[in-house]
Structure 1
């Protein structure tokens, strides 16, 4: 995958967000970590106890979904503040699904790629290898 200079790469799961900016060129990306402030989670429960089923996820899943909503808010806010023009999202599959539901509509054209993999906590060489494999 060719990654333009200035592209932001977001790597997240239901608990952690890491952001990088490509300061290299399309052929030879150089990812530089960006500071990540606190991600505000949004409580998805109604305060009523439910049995744990697919229709009523457990508290941990609700927390992870709330975190994903907070990540979508962070990314949308960055886009609306003109902090990036291009975005690549690498996220755990369920988190990616939650993100898609919550992106700001104006940001959608900026999303260059979405990769459904849980790579939080992986080193930069691993991220670069996955991005290179996506190039194909």
Structure 2
């Protein structure tokens, strides 16, 4: 994959975001870590203690329950929105390209919150849950990736 010199590579999953810059050649990238953000892991009791709601209709003896809200997923979605906001700030004054590597759900959330100017600077979107946010495995993956 072509990764221009000076391009930013952002790797995001539900709880971590790492921003790298290519300081190498286009087809032989060398990534340096610019910044890293981590979403703290909360226990369910810290996120909320609400139980699912109940529904009882007076005209029927049947009772029902509402689906339990996934508080951890809501927290991951919030982190994805913050990642999109950080990307907006990063690309505001930049003329370099941007490559986004994100877990599929995080990628969908980020797409909703980035503006048109940042979208135009996106060279590639890679829907991959990239667990280790180290430069070396990410570099190898980018070298092998075909857009």
TM-score bracket, shorter-length normalisation: 0.7 to 0.9
Matched, 1:93 2:110: no
3-state secondary structure, aligned to 2:6 = coil
User: Could you tell me how far 1:36 is from its partner in structure 2?
Assistant: 3.6
Q: Which has the larger radius of gyration?
A: 2
Output aligned runs, 1:96-107, within 5 Å.
96-107=107-118
C-alpha displacement of 1:37: 5.8
Deviation at 1:120, TM superposition (A): 3.2
Equivalent position to 1:114, from 119, 125, 145: 125
Measured against aligned partners, the alpha-carbon deviations of 1:71-118 in whole angstroms (never above 9, x if no partner) come to 0000001111x1452100101110001001110221111000011111
CA contact (8 A) 1:5 1:22 kept: yes
Q: Structure 1 residues 70, 84: closer, same or farther in 2, change over 3 A?
A: farther
State whether residues 22 and 30 of structure 1, in contact with CA within 8 Å, keep that contact through their aligned partners in structure 2. Answer: yes
Shift of 1:135: 3.3
Q: Who is 1:30 aligned against?
A: 30
> Can you give the 5+ residue segments of structure 1 that lack an aligned partner in the other structure?
40-46
Match of 1:125 among 119, 123, 136: 136
Give 1 or 2: higher strand fraction.
Answer: 2
* Structure 2 equivalent of residue 13 of structure 1: 13
Q: TM-score of the superposition, structure 2-length normalised?
A: 0.75
Report the Cα distance in structure 1 between the residues aligned to 2:114 and 2:99, rounded to whole angstroms.
13
Residue number in structure 2 paired with 1:64 = 76
Number of residue-to-residue matches in the alignment: 125
Give the 4+ runs in structure 1 shifted more than 3 A.
Answer: 36-39, 49-53
| Inter-partner Cα distance in structure 2 for 1:129 and 1:38 | 23
Alignment of structure 1 residues 63-82 onto 2, 5 Å? 63-80=75-92, 82=93
